[in-house]
Amino acid sequence: MAPITVDESIPDGTLAYFDENDQLQEISIHSLASGKKIIIFAVPGAFTPTCSMKHVPGFIEQAEALKSKGVDEILCISVNDPFVMKAWAKTYPENKDVKFLADGSGTYTHALGLELDLTEKGLGVRSRRFALLVEDLKVKAANIESGGEFTVSSAEDILKAL
């Protein structure tokens, strides 16, 4: 499956998360994105070095700047279970704006055409690192990394696209 590109509509899909009452919930991407400007960024794995020290912190630090440019939601997706995503989110106590969503089986990542096979590294099939700027379900910017790079999918890169 080819990766999603600019001007395509994002597929719908259901992701899991824990709400403010610590209850496991499922939510549809379309319910979060319809009629809104959102950022969907994905990482190969929770608690991994680049993801934890650079990618996620950048979106947390730039959240106000992104919101000032009309961004309604900032979603972090990873092919991890919701319990791992909950634990990972707790490592960022200063975070108020980034939602951590679990794509446990990689179904949504597959629908986007953005899988990354890390079986040789013992991680199975995960997500490529990427950041999408989406307006009313249409992709306006698709910053998709090659391999293990972190060169085009940062919060700063998305700010330039706004």
Q: What residues are annotated to the active site? A: 51
Which residues, including other chains, have CB under 8 Å from residue 37's CB and lie 6 or more apart? 70, 71, 72, 133, 134, 135, 136
* Phi, psi (degrees; rounded to nearest 5) at 37: -105, 120
C-beta of residue 3 within 8 angstroms of C-beta of residue 143: no
Strand arrangement of the beta sheet that strand 98-102 belongs to: 24-28, 14-18, 98-102, 73-78, 37-43, 130-135, 138-144
Q: Tokens in use for 115?
A: 């899988």
